[in-house]
Each structure stands twice: as C-alpha cells, then as structure tokens.
Amino acid sequence: MTREYGKVTPEIVAELRGAAGARNVVTDDKDTMENYSYDEAGQLFGHMPDVVIRVDNTEQVSAVMKIASKYKIPVTPRGAGSGLAGSAVPVHGGIVLSLEKMNRILEIDPVNRVAVVEPGVVTNELCKAVAEKGFLYAGYPMSTETSFIGGNVATNAGGGKVIRYGSTRRHVMGLEVVLASGTVRNMGGTIRTATWGDHRGQRRAGSDGTLGIMTKIIVNLEPKPGKVVNLLTAFGTLDEAVDCVAKVIRSGVPIISCEILDRLSTAITCRYLNTSLPYQDKAAAYLIIQIEGDTDERLEDSYEKVGKILMDGGALEVFVAESRTESAAIWNVRQNLAEGARNYDPYASLSGDLVVPLSVVPEMVAESQAAAKRRGIEMGLLGHIADGNLHPIIFKPKDMEPHHWAEFAEEYFEELVGVAVRLGGVGSGEHGVGFVKMPIFLGTKSDEELAILRGIKASFDPDNIMNPGKVLGDF
C-alpha cells in the first residue's frame, strides 16, 4: 500500500524555516539538493528531496518533526551519506534532515567508560579523541574517516574489529531519540546491565532511521589495547587464504581484525593509490590480520604462531609491519577499496554484503564466483572474512546500458542472498537494508516476522513518515 504523503508547499517551507532557522533550510539550490539525493549506493539510485534541512540541535529536530507529522511529510535522516543500500535516499521526496552540523563530542567520561556524542561526529574523530584519553571506541567501519556515529548506529555498522568487539549495536549505551511525533525520548546512559526492557536503546541500532532520529548517542569505551601488530599475508590461491581463516581464529591468539582482499580488488586499489603490495604479481589473495598482545614477548609469540599457521596453510609470505607507516600503508589499501573500484569503473556495484557461518565461507566464495562467471561479469572479492562477511564487487560490462546495469547487478546479488540464506546466513551483514536491499530482505522474512516488525514500526510512527520506503517498505 502506498500512502498519500503531504506536499511541501511554500507555507510549510515557511513553517520549517521558523522551526530550524532560515539559513538551515534549502529548497531552491538544485546543486546542493542533488548532493543529498543519493548515497554511496550510487547516483543511479538517487531521488531528489523537496527540502534539505541541516539542523543545529535537538529542539530544531523536534520542531521539524512536529511540522512533518502535522502535514504527513516524509523525513529521511541523513548522516554522511556513505551508506551502500540507499538508506539515506529520500525515495518519497519530502525532507532530508541532515545531522552534519550536530557534530560535537559532548563528554568523555573515564569513570563510567562512555562518551556522549552528537550523531554527526565522524567516527574516526571520536576514535582519536578517546584514544587521547587512553580509551578505544571499537566501532571501525572501513568508512571510518567519513561516516558519522549516527549513521553507524542506524545501520548497526560492522567493520574491521567485529570479530573482537562486535558490531556498533554492542557499543550503544544510551540514546536521545526524536520520534516521528516530535517527542524527545531518552533511553539508557551509563548502566551496563538491566532486565527491564531495551534499557540501552540498542534495538534502534540497525533500524535505518525508520524509528526516529538519534540526536545524542552514548557509546561504550573499551580500554585501549596494549600493543598491536599488523600482518600482511600473500597467498597464491584465494582458497588457501579462505581456508586459513578458521585456523587462525581458533588458534587462541587475540585477533582484532582479519580482512581478505582478492587479486582484482587489490590491483585496482593499488592502481588508484599509485602503490603496490609485496608479491602482487603472484598473489591471488591477501589476508590482513591485526593481533593484540600486552607485552612485546607475547605479541611476538602470537604473530609467530599465526605466521606458522599461515605458512603451513600455503602462504607465499607473511609480512610483519615494522612501523606505523607500514601498518598504515597496508590498511590504506583496505580502506580505499571502494574508491579503487569506482576509479576502475564508475558503475562498480558495491552493494554485496553477505554473511554466512565461517564453516561455509568457501562455498559462498565459490558460488559468488560461479554466478559472476555465468553472467559474464568481472567480480572482485573483499570482506571482513573472520565474521563470514563478504563483499563481492561487480563491474559493468562496457556494452551494457547503465539503467539496465542497476537491475542486472541487483539480480546477481539477489541470487547470492539466496545462496547465503541456504547456507545459514543472511543478505546484509552491516550495510543496512535501505531500499536497494528491501525486496531481498522482505523475500527472506516470514509473514509472522514482518507482522511483528511492522507492529513495532507502527507503534513509533503510525503514519510511516520516518524514512518511508526503506526496510519494511510502504504498508
């Protein structure tokens, strides 16, 4: 069922200007508005908003929501727009409510081990600020230098440290949320256990902005790890790299990260960065492994143990990063894979986000490759492999029309989601559902599950104005 939403009239724009300040409300600057019409899923998935509002504070968010609720105008919350599932795209037009100006770190509380932040804080800025006080914020999506904490919570972002610390939901201690009605709700804070309900607001994590707008987030801080070392391991075959992962994880060595990059994704990213990795001419795949240890001796024992497992598993070579510069160079390749892919092909589709149990990762990889081959498309593979979270990237054949490609790419991913589900996994590990993945998501849920989810949504947002057309769609 598609709802009838209100139209944004000049009178409503005047009310919105009164609520959020005239300078924060954009309606007639097409170039600016276009920047808010798409995310990293690509411009092919874009939709123009009627209004963009860049709010300064919770009061403005609440005032905007009261107006939106009165006139039934759709509202799409937006963080940095780095999402890969079209979650921040205003598919029904209306208001894009950007949290980019709410970007202050309000408090770092060393006793309760929490930080209180506004949603527009860039993830890496929080990481740096708490590191100066001896803490670790353990969220680490590969978009850490661009994405915002609010977007990370809304998508339950994963990333390079999930195997050790879990995904963003685990780091949420409390929230301030503005509901569709404009009501401001606070939940959680600094207590770490309770049997009374969702005391930390963690159920909001992963709701893709469909249950309210987070205006303050209280996150858990971990003690900063003592010493870490990064290993780069080159393999002659992808299968050998994949096979080593479970052995490394069960070795008992404290692993913080374990990432995989195949030949194609490495080549295009190194070309984009004008750099290279050792053994690049022979390597079919690399594992990047980060290990923790409290003393130099323990760290050395650990990486020797892991190094032996890798060499026994067929590695061509294991390189231990000797300095921060070497470590940064390795991670730079991993963090720039999306840019490398887009540089290679502006239509590269990055929306693959499959998760399967570690035991069936080899099958998932093989089926992803076989499906790409059947369709005659080039595929690169990367991912947070220790979590069983794989991101196949596919590239548009030169002779295919772009509008046909979006559909073609989603059909490919739909097939892979079917494989992931058959293997005991799911079709989105960390990027959210948005509207790009919505048909696949709906297709894998039972009627009972959907009825429960729709009931929750309706209780917070009876008119479905909060990011409509996402996750559960229009109902």
Q: Which residues contribute to the site for ligand FAD (CB under 6 A)?
A: 39-40, 76-84, 87-88, 99, 119, 141-143, 147-148, 150-152, 154-155, 157-159, 208-209, 213-214, 338, 430-432, 467
Evaluate the CA torsion angle 125, 126, 130, 135 in order and state its sign. Answer: negative
Which residues neighbour 53 within 8 Å (Cβ) at sequence distance 6 or greater?
16, 20, 24, 25, 26, 60, 64, 95, 96, 97, 98
Nearer to ligand FAD, 103 or 444 (CB): 103
Nearer to ligand FAD, 405 or 460 (CB): 460
Spell out the alpha helix ranges (H) of 236-360. 238-249, 263-273, 296-312, 324-335, 337-344
The single residue listed with the structure tokens 């075959």 is 237
CB of 76 to ligand FAD, least distance (A): 6
Nearer to ligand FAD, 287 or 316 (CB): 287
Nearer to ligand FAD, 39 or 367 (CB): 39
CB of 101 to ligand FAD, least distance (A): 12
Nearer to ligand FAD, 100 or 243 (CB): 100
- Residues 45, 406 contacting (CB under 8 angstroms): yes
CB of 82 to ligand FAD, least distance (A): 3
Phi, psi of 283 (to 5 degrees): -75, 130
CB of 363 to ligand FAD, least distance (A): 23
CB of 29 to ligand FAD, least distance (A): 19
User: By Cβ distance, which residue is nearest to ligand FAD?
Assistant: 151
The single residue listed with the structure tokens 């070795």 is 251
Nearer to ligand FAD, 77 or 307 (CB): 77
CB of 384 to ligand FAD, least distance (A): 7
Amino acid letter for position 187: M
Token pair for residue 412?
């490919």
- Residues 36, 25 contacting (CB under 8 angstroms): no
Q: How many CB atoms lie within 10 A of CB 186?
A: 13
CB of 389 to ligand FAD, least distance (A): 8
Which residues neighbour 460 within 8 Å (Cβ) at sequence distance 6 or greater?
179, 180, 211, 212, 466
Nearer to ligand FAD, 367 or 430 (CB): 430
CB of 344 to ligand FAD, least distance (A): 14
**What span, in angstroms and rounded, lies between the C-alpha atoms of 159 and 328?**
16
**What span, in angstroms and rounded, lies between the C-alpha atoms of 202 and 191?**
13
CB of 87 to ligand FAD, least distance (A): 3
**What span, in angstroms and rounded, lies between the C-alpha atoms of 232 and 285?**
10
Evaluate the CA torsion angle 344, 345, 350, 352 in order and state its sign. Answer: negative
Amino acid letter for position 455: G
- Residues 212, 459 contacting (CB under 8 angstroms): no
CB of 126 to ligand FAD, least distance (A): 12
**If you compute the radius of gyration of the chain from its CA atoms, what whole number of angstroms results?**
22
Nearer to ligand FAD, 103 or 190 (CB): 103
Nearer to ligand FAD, 68 or 320 (CB): 68
Nearer to ligand FAD, 9 or 32 (CB): 32
